[in-house]
Amino acid sequence: MDHSIAHLTEFTNDKILTSTIESPFKPEDKLQNLKNETLMQNKEQNHLSDFFKRLSDVIEDYNEVLLFGPTDAKTELFNLLKGNRHFEKIKIGVKAADKMTENQQLAFIKDYFNIPSD
pLDDT tens for each residue of 6-46: 999 998 877 889 999 998 766 555 555 556 677 777 777 88
Coil, helix or strand at residue 72: coil
Distance CA 52, CA 46 (A): 10
Residues 6+ apart with CB under 8 A from 101: none
CATH class of the region 5-113: alpha beta
pLDDT given for residue 117 in this prediction: 75
Percent of the chain exceeding pLDDT 90 equals 67
Under DSSP, the state recorded for 86 is G
pTM of the model: 0.84
Is the CB of residue 18 less than 8 Å from the CB of residue 8?
yes
* % of the chain with per-residue pLDDT over 70: 87
User: What's the pLDDT tens digit per position in 63-112?
Assistant: 999 999 999 999 999 999 999 999 999 999 999 999 999 999 999 999 99
